[in-house]
Amino acid sequence: MDRTPDQPLSPRKLEAQARACACAVAHLLWQALVAKRPADRSLAAYLRAHRECGSRDRRLFSETFFAVLRWWGWLRPFAPPFPANEPDPARVRAEDYARLLVAAWLLEDEPLPEVAEIWRRQAGLGREALSTGNGKTPALAQRWRCLLPLGNTPGQRFETAHLLPDWCAAETTNPRRQEELVEWLQRRPPVWLRAQVDPAQALRELTQAGLAPQPHPRRPDAIAIAPPRLNLRDLPAFRDGHLEIQDLASQTIAAVCAPLPGERWWDACAGAGGKTLHMATLMHSKGSIVASDIRTYKLEDLRKRARRAGFSNIRCREWKGKDLPAKKGGFDGVLVDAPCSCSGTWRRNPDARWTLEREEIAEFAEKQLALLRNAAGAVRRGGVLVYATCSLFDAENEGVVQAFLAAQPDFALEPFPHPLAEGQCAGQLRLWPWDGDCDAMFVARFRRG
Ligand SMILES: C[S@@+](CC[C@H](N)C(=O)[O-])C[C@H]1O[C@@H](n2cnc3c(N)ncnc32)[C@H](O)[C@@H]1O
């Protein structure tokens, strides 16, 4: 994490920042947890509407809001009750949130922001309250102890499992201890970039920008950086389409597709095209890709990104999940990166842990199977079908694969090289955050007989 110290703020400005941050978090928490609006979008909208916030305010609001969401399973008793209606940030009593915000920062295991001292006073806490945390109690199972000086939270037990929904462990087959998964999900993730043209040049540019890039040992085009203070989109490499922001786990999917130059591929659920662009790179712009999605506004983004990167072989089409965009068997390969619970991204999107309902998992699985079966018709005999989700849950992953194979005996799982390690995968792969300091992902590769 880039922790170059800022110039200290005057006491008056610091007071104002502490208050503004508490008001923003109160408003945004209501939006995320009561109105169930995606936290990243609410935060972006809030900052657009509050142009008076400088870059330091933005960073503080964002880090504090996401810290509260990440630790919400333990922090609930520190928060005032949610109002029935959306709170007006101008009317929020900032003091009511001070204890919650101190608690969130103590748990984060990061240096405390200057405003923590103000929140401590507003919450009526003694100086000793801030003497814990900050990496002094790193083991997750013991981390709650830093909250002891904050006073009683009646009835609250701080168990690791409480940091995820209580049904989560029953829905996922985790090869390690569940505590280890939670530990990973509590860590702030790095930003992963993908060098679309020349990894060495990208590393030089990122180093010149002071971003200390770390290439992945097995995937030189995958580069990790600490969350930057500058806007990455202002870098020339981004403006020229030489770099894309894409989590490492997502970067493995095009590698599993392994499209060859000259082939004809369909990216059925392309969204804004993260994986389409990666496939086009692997195909050296030779051959063609049809990119489709039910949400055509996403395809507009894809068109812009493809133009910026100079790919002329990507065609965008609306796809509502049924009729094929070409004649049956018209593609060498099809990728179905299906809509899912997105639980594999809970590290980046901690709000989603508290808004997903268990019943939704079965609904996703049903939709995924239908999309996969419909899209499979477009694969030529001898062609490849790849199914991917960013879900942690068995039903959306191996469950869909089993149901698909039972219904489509002309398809079989096909082994592929592990995209992040030595060895082969037997047709399907789960990636966990510990496999590369990344999101969790699932991928299966089929060959049509
Ligand atoms: C996991 S996201 C795709 C992400 C994208 N492949 C990427 O790499 O950025 C799943 C996509 O499926 C789309 N989708 C949802 N329902 C669909 C349907 N019935 N038919 C086609 N696409 C659908 C969503 O709009 C969403 O963009």
The pLDDT of residue 156 is 74
Ligand 1 atom 18: residue of nearest CA? 321
Residues 42-72 pLDDT 10s: 999 999 999 998 889 999 999 999 999 999 9
Q: 271 with 297: CB under 8 angstroms? A: no
Determine what percent of the chain is predicted with pLDDT higher than 90: 82
State the first-to-last Cα distance of the chain, in angstroms, to the nearest integer: 49
> In this structure, which residue's CA is closest to atom 13 in ligand 1?
269
For ligand 1, the distance from its centroid to the CA atom of residue 275, given in whole angstroms, is 11
* Ligand 1, pocket-test mutation among 265, 290, 294, most atoms within 8 A of CB: 294
Query: For residue 292, how far is its CA from the centre of ligand 1 (angstroms)?
Result: 8
Could you tell me if 268 and 216 are in contact, meaning their C-beta atoms sit under 8 angstroms apart?
A: no
Residue 1: band (very low, low, confident or very high) from pLDDT cuts 50, 70, 90? very low
pLDDT of residue 135: 56
Pairwise CA distance, residues 283 & 281, whole Å: 5
Cα-atom radius of gyration of the chain, to the nearest Å? 23
**Which residue ranges have their beta carbon within 6 Å of ligand 1?**
250, 269-272, 274-275, 293-295, 298, 319-321, 337, 339, 371
Of residues 168, 342, 390, 438, which has the active-site annotation? 390
The residue whose CB lies within 8 Å of the most ligand 1 atoms, and thus the one to mutate among 245, 293, 319, 396, is: 293
Q: Is 276 exposed, middle or buried (0-12, 13-18, 19+ CB in 10 A)?
A: buried
Q: What is the pLDDT of residues 413-437, one digit of tens each?
A: 999 999 999 999 999 999 999 999 9
Per the rule left: phi > 0, alpha: psi between -120 and 50, beta: everything else, 173 is: beta
Distance 65 CA to ligand 1 centre (A): 27
Residue 151 has pLDDT above 90, yes or no: no
Q: Summarize the confidence of residues 266-277 as an average pLDDT.
A: 98
Three-state SS for 379-425 is: EEEEEEEEEEECCCCHHHCHHHHHHHHHHCCCEEECCEECCCCCCEE
* CB-based burial, 384-412: b 16+ in 10 Å, e otherwise: bbbbbbbbbbbbbbebbbebbeeebeebe
Q: Is the pLDDT of residue 5 over 90?
A: no
The percentage of the chain sitting over the pLDDT mark of 70, rounded to a whole number, equals 96
CA of 310: how far to CAs of 197, 205, 240, 375, 441, in Å?
11, 20, 9, 28, 29
Count of alpha carbons within 13 angstroms of residue 82, beta-carbon side: 14
Nearest 5°: phi and psi at 434?
-75, -10
**CA 50-186-39 angle, 5° bins:** 30
The C-alpha atoms of residue 401 and residue 407 are separated, in whole angstroms, by 10
Domains of the chain and CATH, by start: 11-158 (1.10.940), 191-245 (3.30.70.1170), 248-448 (3.40.50.150)
- How far apart are the C-alpha atoms of 428 and 402, rounded to whole Å? 11
pLDDT of residue 233: 87
Residue 148 pLDDT: 84
Is 130 in contact with 116 (CB distance < 8 Å)?
yes
Residue 394 has pLDDT above 60, yes or no: yes
Å from CA of 254 to ligand 1 middle: 15
Rounded to an integer, what distance in angstroms lies between the CA atom of residue 139 and that of residue 338? 36
Q: Is 342 tagged catalytic?
A: no
Residue 87, CA distances (Å) to 25, 104, 355 in order: 11, 21, 19
Calculate the alpha carbon distances from 206 to 1, 214, 228, 233, 283 in Å: 15, 10, 11, 12, 25
Average pLDDT over residues 339-343: 98
Q: How many whole angstroms from 386 Cα to the centroid of ligand 1?
A: 14
- List Cα–Cα distances, 46 to 26, 69, 313, in angstroms: 12, 17, 38
pLDDT of residue 3 exceeding 50, the answer is no
Q: pLDDT at residue 82 above 80?
A: yes
311-329 pLDDT, tens digit each: 999 999 999 999 888 888 8
What is the DSSP-derived secondary structure letter of residue 374?
Answer: H
- Mean pLDDT of all residues in the chain? 93
User: Band of the pLDDT at 257, cuts 50, 70, 90?
Assistant: very high
Ligand 1: which of 194, 266, 269, 282 to mutate, most ligand atoms within 8 Å of CB? Answer: 269
Residue 229 confidence (pLDDT) above 90: no
pLDDT at 397: 98
Q: Are 252 and 347 in contact (CB under 8 A)?
A: no
pTM of the predicted model as reported, rounded to 2 decimal places: 0.94
Flag whether pLDDT at 2 surpasses 70. no
Exposed (0-12), middle (13-18) or buried (19+): which is 235, by Cβ within 10 Å?
A: buried
Instruction: Tell the residue nearest (CA) to atom 3 of ligand 1.
Output: 271
Asked if 259 contacts 281 with a C-beta cutoff of 8 angstroms, the reply is: no
